[in-house]
Amino acid sequence: MRLALEEARRGLGRTSPNPAVGAVIVKGARVLSRGYHRAAGRPHAEIEALRALPSPDAARGTTLYVTLEPCSTRGRTPACTDAIARHGFARVVYGATDPNPAHAGRADALLAAHGIPVTRGVLAAECTALNLAWNHWITTRRPWVIAKCGLSLDGRISSHPESRWITNAESRADAMQLRAGVDAILIGAGTARTDDPRLTIRGLTGARQPWRVVVTNSGRLPATLRLFTDRHRDRTLVFRKEPLDAVLRTLGAMDVTSVLIEGGGATLGEAFDAGLVNEVVFYFAPQLLGGPVPAVGGRGVGRNEDALRLRDVTYTRLGDDVRVRGLI
């Protein structure tokens, strides 16, 4: 299953609105083939592993390890349970149960009817964590929301206009990986006007360009912004006079499974006040900036006891910066 997880990670950021899934076919102690889901509409991981076998008959009597319960209904591709039964596997082992109510647990009965025993829940926590955004979207039809910010130790995101960056190059490279793993990047109109950001994926090969989303109350945005003039301009969406909750529902209906909110402080404040954030990724630089612009604005909480708490927190040193990442 750990080998299957390795395979699944190869598809991270490339499969939406499908989950990242990996599969391994084993006979005895020998790995015969591996596969992973490469993109929506492409074969699922189980089929990729089958195609990697030396012959179609080689699956007979083997064990299939897959990170997610095999799909049991036809979508863009045929049901994997049908292919598994047809190729004569002796056993199927999977990690996470499919959270989709239409599929959850159905594979067990379907495969058992063909005489194929199933073991479920192997490394379930790791297999589930692989697709947090997709799991959330498939059950709520709302995207998983990540609040991202680069800030000083005193919680500021503004610096001198001629000094563009607060965090270092290592943090910015890490944040680019974060961008590459989401379906959309969202900012407020103030950030769009002040920073004229590109919100593109740079320095990574083969990454998809996420949607670039701007929320604005006035609707007055300069037509010269790079979001409207560069080669990715058709990937820019503007929402006027809509609350964030409604924007996220619309994006979810567009098969956007994950959204990275990059600011500014007012937009992040609205997201936290409304309870819309699922995950936090903050990059702290060893600087004290002062000034009027906090990383997170909004109403805030009335008492310290009401503060949002993080769980499963990790602290990662990136040069002199520190990345704090956790779930709400």
How far apart CA 322 and CA 328 sit, in angstroms, is 19
Q: Which two tokens stand for residue 30?
A: 């020998």
Q: Is 46 a catalytic residue?
A: yes
Contact yes or no for 260/182 (Cβ under 8 A)? yes
**Chain-centre distance of CA 108, in angstroms?**
27
Determine which one of 6, 7, 46, 69 is catalytic. 46
97 secondary structure, DSSP code: P
Contact yes or no for 23/217 (Cβ under 8 A)? no
Locus of tokens 């990540």: 146
φ and ψ at 144, to 5 degrees? -70, 130
| CA-angle at 296, arms to 294 and 301, nearest 5° | 115
Contact yes or no for 192/227 (Cβ under 8 A)? yes
| CA-angle at 272, arms to 266 and 274, nearest 5° | 100
Helices (H), 22-131: 45-51, 80-86, 106-112, 124-129
Coil/strand/helix, residue 153: coil
Helices (H), 94-188: 106-112, 124-129, 132-140, 169-180
Q: Which residues contact 179 (CB under 8 A, 6 or more apart)?
A: 185, 199, 201, 210, 260
Q: Closest by alpha carbon to 214, among 230, 237, 243, 241?
A: 237
CB burial of residue 306 (10 Å; 0-12, 13-18, 19+): exposed
* Residues carrying an active site annotation: 46
